[in-house]
Structure 1
Amino acid sequence: MTDSVSKYVSKLSPIVDYGTGAFLLIVAVMTIVGNGAVLVAARKRASRLKPPELLSVNLAFTDLGAAVTMYPLAIASAWNHGWLGGEASCIYYGLMGLLFGVASIMTLTIMAVVRLITTAMSHIPASRVPSWTRVWRAIVAVWLYSLLWCLFPLIGWGSYGPEPFGTACSVTWTNSHQSWNRSTFVLLFFTLCVLLPLSTLMLCYARIAYTHYQVYRTLKHHRTISISNQTTRRLTLMSVMVSAGFVVSWGPYAAVSVWSVFCANENIPPFLTLLPCLFAKSSTVYNPFIYYAFSKSFRREVSALKPSCQLSKSSQSDSDNQPAVHWKRGGHLQVLPQPCMCDTVRVGGYLEERGLPTVERTGGPGGSVP
C-alpha cells in the first residue's frame, strides 16, 4: 500500500471508529437542532432584532454550516474505517473546518468586545455605539479574515492533510518542526486565531464581571435599588460559561498543534490525537444550550415556536423598551434605552437583560433613579 493511500486508512480500532462516528452523529444532530432553533427564532422576530444580535445569528450560522458541510463526511469516514474521497475531499474538509472555525472564534471575540463596550464602558461616544452598519462590517470582516486563512494553505503556506488517526483532515500540523513552512503557519495561526481571541475573551468578560460587582456594591451601599442576587450570579455565570466553552473545546487541539512545532509526535498514540479533535468539534453544540439555560427571553422565543405557546406582540414590545442602568464615573447612574442584547423580561418585580441588569425607576424625588 502506497503512502498516499495508507495515510487515509484509519489508525484506530473499528470499535473506536464506530464510537467516533456515533459521537459525531449526536453532535451533528444537537448542533442542527440547537442552532436551527436560534436561526428560526431570529427569523420570527427579525423586525425586532437589535444590531448586536446579528452576531449571535452569525455564530449560529457558522456552527450550523460546520455541521452540515463537514460532519456527514466525517461520520461516513469513521464508519468506513478510512477517509472517503482521497486528497480532494481532504482539502475540502480541511478548508471548511478552518473557515467555520476561525469565523466562529472571531465572532465570539467580537461579541465579547461589543458587550464590553455597551455594558462596562461609561460615556459611550456615538462613534462606538454598535449600529447596523458597524455590525454588518464586523461580520463581513470576520468572513474575509477567515477566508484569508483558508487560502494560505492553498497557495503554499501550510497545507491541508489527514489527521494522525486517519479519518479526518485539517491543517497539516503533525511533525511541523520538520518544516519551516508548516511551523511558521501553525505558530502564527495559533497566535492570531487562538491565543489573541482567547485573551480578548477573558479580559472582556473579566472587566464586565468587575463592572457588575461595582454597580451592585454601590447600589447596595446607597440602598437605592434592590437587585436579585440570583440574577447577578446567572449573568456572570453565563459569561464565564461562554469563555470556558471556548477554552475546553479549542484548548487541547491548539496545545497539540503547538506541541508538534517543537517536538516529534510519532510516539503520540493515534487515539490521543483523536480526543482534541472531538473536543473541537463539540464547540458547535454548546452555545444554544447556554442561551437556553441562562436567557429567559431565548426560552420564550423557543417556546413561541410551538403553536400552543405563542406570545402576544404587545408583551414582547413592552419588554423590549425597558430602560437599562449604565454605570457612570463619579458614582452616578444613568437610565438609558437598551443599546443591545435586549433579552429583557420581568422577573419577580424586577427587570433583567442578558449581559446587563435593568431595573424599574424607584426611589428619589418623583420616582426617578438619582
Structure 2
Amino acid sequence: MADDHAIVNNSNLPLGNAIIRSSVYCLLFITGFFGNLIFLVIFAKCPYMRIPINYFLVNLAIVDITATIFRELALIIGYFNCQWLYNYHTCNLFGFMRNICCAVTIFTLLAISVCRYLVICQHKGRRMTRRAVLCIIAFVWFYTILVCLCPIFGWNRYIYHQNQYVCSIDWSYQPSYIRYIIIVDVFLPTIITIICYTFIYIVVHRHSRRIQDILRMSGSLSSAQYNRIAREKKVTKIMFAVYINFLICYLPFSIITAILIPSGIKPPAELFFVGTFMIDLNSSINPMLYPFIYRRCKEAYCEVLCCHRSQTSPTSNCY
C-alpha cells in the first residue's frame, strides 16, 4: 500500500542545475526563516506591537517559518536525489505540512479582510479584541488541519511529484477533493477577500472626502476622530499590501494546478519551478514588507536590532 501512495525520488536533475536551484532556495530559507523569526522576537519584545490585528501577522510569520522548513528544505534535499526522504510516511508528513501552510495563509488573509470590513464598514471595532482574533486563528488552524488530513485518510492522497521534487496532493486522483479545495479553499476566500477590500476602499474614500468637506467648511476636525480614521486607513493599507503580495506570489502556481492540470495540459518542470519559487518567495517578502509600510514596525526593528530604545510611548498611536 505504501508504494501506491508515494513515489521514490528518482530525479535526474543535472548537478549544475541542482546546485543553482538549491542555492536559490538556501537564500530563500535564510531570508524567510530568520526574517520571520526576527518579526516574532520584535512582537514579543515590543508591547506596543501587541494590538489585536497584529496577531494575524504573527500567525502568518509562524506559517512562513514552518513553510521554510517543510517546503524549502525539502526542495533543497529533493534536488540532490535523496531517496531516503520520501517514503510513505515522510511523504504524507511533508505533503500535509506543505498544504497546511498554503491553506492557513489563505484563510488568515481572508480573516484579516473580513475583520477590516467589520471594523471600517460595520463599525464593529470594539468586538475585534485579542480574544476574538485568537479564536479566529484557532478556528482557521482547526479547519485547515481537517481538510489537509483528508488525503492521509483516503480522500485523495499525497504523492511525490517528480517534476516538482516535492510531495503534494495527487492532482489527477479523486477529482472531487481537487474541486473542493479549488472552490472552497481558494476561489471562495479570494472572492470574499476582494469584495471586502472593495467595500473598504469605497468607505475609506467616502470618509476622506467627508474629512475634506469638514475641513473646508469649518477648518477643524477633532483630533481623536482624525487619528482614528488615519489609523484605520493605515492598518488597512498594511493588510492590503500583504494580500497583494500573496496574490502575486501564489497566482502562477494556482494557474498551473487549478487550470492547466485539470485541463489535461502537462506543464514543463521549469514552469513548476517558477510556480513553487513564487510561493516560497512570499514567505521571504512578508517580513521585509512590514517595516516599509508600517512605521511602528520599522521603529521596533531598529529598537531590537540596534539595541536602541524607542522614544515613543507604548500607549501612543501604534501606527
The answer on 1:153 being equivalent to 2:151 is: yes
* In structure 1, C-alpha distance between the alignment counterparts of 2:242 and 2:164, rounded to whole Å: 31
Matching of residue 205 in structure 1 with residue 197 in structure 2: yes
8 Å contact kept, 1:102–1:193: yes
1:139-288 equivalent positions in 2, closer than 5 A: 139-173=137-171, 176=172, 179=173, 181=174, 183-223=175-215, 224-225=220-221, 238-259=238-259, 262-266=262-266, 268-288=267-287
Q: Quick one: which of 305, 313, 318 aligns to 1:316?
A: 313
Letter in 1 for 2:149: L
**SS of residue matched to 1:70:** helix
- Please say which structure displays the higher CA radius of gyration: 1
Shift of 1:216: 1.1
What corresponds to 1:98 in structure 2?
99
**Aligned residues of 1:66 and 1:97 also touching (Cα < 8 A):** yes
CA distance in 1, matches of 2:194, 2:120: 15
Give the 3-state SS of the residue equivalent to 1:10 in structure 2. coil
Q: For each residue in 1:100-159, what CA deviation from the matched residue of structure 2 results, as whole angstroms up to 9, or x when unmatched?
A: 22112111111121122222323x386xx1123322211111111111112100111111
Higher relative contact order (CA 8 A, sep 6+): 2
For 2:316, the aligned partner's letter is S
In 2 relative to 1, CA 12–132 (structure 1 residues): closer, same or farther, beyond 3 Å? Answer: same
What residue number does 1:56 align with? 57
Measured at CA, do residues 254 and 131 of structure 1 come closer, stay the same or move farther in structure 2, by a change above 3 Å? same
User: Are 1:12 and 1:271, in contact at CA under 8 Å, matched by a contact in 2?
Assistant: no
Instruction: Name the structure 2 match of 1:42.
Output: 43
Does structure 2 conserve the Cα–Cα contact (< 8 Å) formed by 1:21 and 1:74?
yes
Change beyond 3 A, Cα 1:211–1:84: farther
Match of 2:23 in 1: 22
Whether the 8 Å contact between 1:74 and 1:168 is mirrored in structure 2 is: yes
1-side partners of 2:7 and 2:155: how far apart? 24
The answer as to whether partners of 2:242 and 2:286 remain within 8 angstroms in 1 is: yes
Identity %: 19
Q: Which runs of 5+ in 1 are unaligned?
A: 321-342, 345-370
TM-score with structure 2 setting the length: 0.85
Question: One-letter code of the match for 1:152?
Answer: C
Cα shift at 1:261: 5.4
> Are residues 161 and 236 of structure 1, via their aligned partners in 2, closer, same or farther at CA, if it must alter by over 3 Å?
same
The TM-score normalised by the length of structure 1 is: 0.74
Is residue 295 of structure 2 the alignment partner of residue 296 of structure 1? Answer: yes
Secondary structure, aligned partner of 1:170: strand
Q: Secondary structure at the match of 1:309?
A: coil
> Could you tell me whether the CA contact under 8 Å between 2:66 and 2:101 is conserved in 1?
yes
Asked whether the equivalents of residues 161 and 170 of structure 1 are also in contact (C-alpha less than 8 Å), the reply is yes
- 1:293 partner letter: F
Aligned equivalent of 2:71: 70
Q: Distance in 2 between matches of 1:152 and 1:41?
A: 36
Partner of 2:113: 112
Cα shift readout 1:266-307 (whole Å, capped 9, x = no counterpart): 4x3222222212212222122222211101100011111035
Structure 2: gaps of 5 or more residues:
none
State the distance in 1 between where 2:130 and 2:233 align.
31
Decide whether the 8 Å contact of 1:209 with 1:236 is kept in 2: no
| 8 Å Cα contact 2:164-2:273 kept in structure 1 | no
Indicate conservation of the 8 Å contact 1:39/1:57, yes or no.
Answer: yes
Decide which structure has greater helix share.
Answer: 2
Distance 1:233 1:272 in 2: 38
The secondary structure found in structure 1 opposite 2:196 is: helix
Q: Kindly tell me: are residues 317 and 238 of structure 1, through their superposed partners in 2, closer, same or farther at Cα, counting changes over 3 Å?
A: closer
Conserved in 1, the CA contact under 8 Å of 2:116 and 2:236?
Answer: no
Q: Is this contact kept in 1: 2:204–2:233, CA < 8 A?
A: no
Residues 158-187 of structure 1: per-residue CA shift (max 9 Å, x gap):
1111224152121111xx2xx4x1x11111
**Superposition map of 1:328-339 within 5 A:** none
Structure 2 distance, partners of 1:74, 1:116, is 38
